Amino acid sequence: MLWLLNVYLVSKNQLQALSPLDGRYENNVKELSVYFSESALIKYRLKIEIEYLIALSREKGIKELPTLTTQEQIRLRKIYLNFNSSVAKNIKSIEKTTNHDVKAIEYYIQSKTRKNLHPWIHFALTSEDINNLSYSLMWQDGLKEIYLPTLELVNRKLKKLAKKYKNSPMLSLTHGQPATPTTFGKELAVFYKRLDRQIHQIKNHTLLGKFSGATGTWSAQMVSYPKINWIRFSEKFVKSIGLNPNFYTTQIEPHDSVAESYFKVILANSILTDLCRDMWSYVSRGILGQKKVSGEIGSSTMPHKINPIQFENAEGNMGISNSILIHLATKLPLSRMQRDLTDSTTLRNQGVAMGHSYLALKNILNGLDRITINNFQMKNELDGHWEVLAEAIQTVLRKTGKEDSYEKLKILTRGQKIDSLKVQSFIKDLKISDEDKRMLLSLTPSSYIGIANKLVDQI
């Protein structure tokens, strides 16, 4: 009967959703709705319009609009602070008449304020002054509140695993062929450091905002109040909401800074895709296992299977996210003349891109929580490839001045399966110092890991 209850609990909207983010994966990404839904966009627009009205009232050069009292400002801010679905539906109903989303915001605010404030709502602005700030804040807040904390959680998990397995030797594969051994922990440390750098860059990147009228010239503002320093006013306002001002724009903010931010997430996704593929390969080789989950099924016909589906799901979702982000980052900086509307419909998809990235992060966390290490298989792999010591032997021979050292080891090992006896027999016949000979004879594929474990200690 449990499955019947589960079916009942699945909402009709989930089953009929066009996007899997709003259907199958709704519960995994619902936190993002606060930042990227249509309702969220309406709330951000309300915030910008209200804060602008308050800022205008503080401008001493505008005598016709007295400074709003503290109580009046509190009442105005409640318009967006108390925002709910009922307000969103009200504004959408206004939009049905206006056929203009930003104008609907203006009319809604008018319905909540006294008449002498109505002329000052959206005063001398173009819709893009509101939209560019709203979309940038949505992306910035979504990154800060949801994406980055989860990305940092993934990286902390990688660091923890790297330290746990810093002394676990494993065979490397370069070009898919046996190569100088490493440790599992050191390989995870590589991903940790790569991600750590991207996290720092994403955190410290600054988004730009435009607030300069119809074509970026403050023309309407200057006609109305030529003595006001509108550049300084705009700079102060844009900074007050958490963005940096861009004074050189057309009707739209050129989107260069947000495109740069998209590319940083793209690179983080690419690094994580690299991680997922490696983890998948390690599971396939048998050097990693996965914890069993009671009741879970890996295959509808093969009962033995525990598939690395978390890493596969993450790889697929990061691919979708990057495809969207690449389009956003390469399309948004392009606009015909002083503007066209292609950016408007494109920007609405930044939340979709974020959703797929966020879903991927959650799957990576689940995947990392399930991995187990198979020390027996790791040792078997290493013991089956003594040829990897050829590098060490020929390097020591080079040190002693042997000109054909590389060639000798090539003859011994290239394309051949050799064991410990062959390697040690070769070493014993070498004309090198007793110290070097003892050192080489003490080497095994498992011990030939250089400073891999010490590198992990540095992260």
| 373 Cβ neighbours under 8 A, 6+ residues apart | 165, 168, 184, 287, 288, 289
Type of residue found at 188:
L
What is the pairing mode between strands 208-209 and 177-183?
Answer: unpaired
Is residue 357 annotated as a catalytic residue, yes or no? no
Which of 175, 300, 304, 442 does the annotation list as catalytic? 175
Which of 11, 93, 284, 299 does the annotation list as catalytic? 299
* Contact yes or no for 194/188 (Cβ under 8 A): no
What would the two tokens of residue 217 be?
Answer: 């010239």
Is residue 335 annotated as a catalytic residue, yes or no? no
Q: d(Cα 351, Cα 35) in Å, to the nearest integer? A: 8
Catalytic residues: 175, 299
